[in-house]
Amino acid sequence: MENRIKKYKSLKIKLTPQRLAILNYLEGNKMHPSVEQIFKYVSRRFPSMSYATVYNVLNTLVKHNVVKEISIDPDKKRFDPYMSTHHHLVCIKCRKIIDLDMDFSIGVPEDKLAGFTMMGNHIEFYGVCAQCRGKDKD
């Protein structure tokens, strides 16, 4: 059996063609796509695909820790299949989101936490990407 399928089998969820199509699109995808982008891509091969299914599948995958929902774009939800701990560089011009593979161990003193139990962190670095910098030299 194909390796990828075996991997998804282990999730103990039904492997429907629609789910496989979405999983294949997400596999290795570094674009942090929105629901709209996912829908547009997979509906090319699955013309009957509906937005509801994309939402259903994504919610299921998030629940099973196969993708992360990221709150960087204030306009829409974006999804990230790259599950290792990592952070993001966000271009304030073109809104591109670039992975940053580093692990920062950021300590917060007890007295600043006010009883908050820390479980992790995510850093959004903002600035201007190489491409956008290349343009408008004003």
Partner DNA sequence: TTTCCATTTTATAAATATTATAATCTAATA
Partner DNA sequence: TATTAGATTATAATATTTATAAAATGGAAA
Contact residues for Zn ion (CB under 5 A)?
91, 93-94, 96, 129, 132
Rounded to whole angstroms, the Cα distance separating 9 from 92 reads 39
Q: Minimal CA–CA distance to 126: which of 73, 76, 52? A: 73
State the Rg of the chain over Cα. Answer: 18
Tokens at residue 24, please? 């294949």
Among DNA, its own copies, Mn ion, none, what does residue 80 contact (CB within 5–8 Å per kind)?
Mn ion
Residue 19: contacted member of DNA, its own copies, Mn ion, none (CB under 5 to 8 Å, by partner type): DNA
Task: Report the interface residues with its own copies, using CB under 8 A.
Answer: 69-74, 77, 89, 91-92, 98, 100-102, 104, 106, 108, 112-130, 133
Residues that bind DNA (CB under 7 A): 9, 13-19, 34-36, 46, 48-53, 55-57, 59-60, 74-77
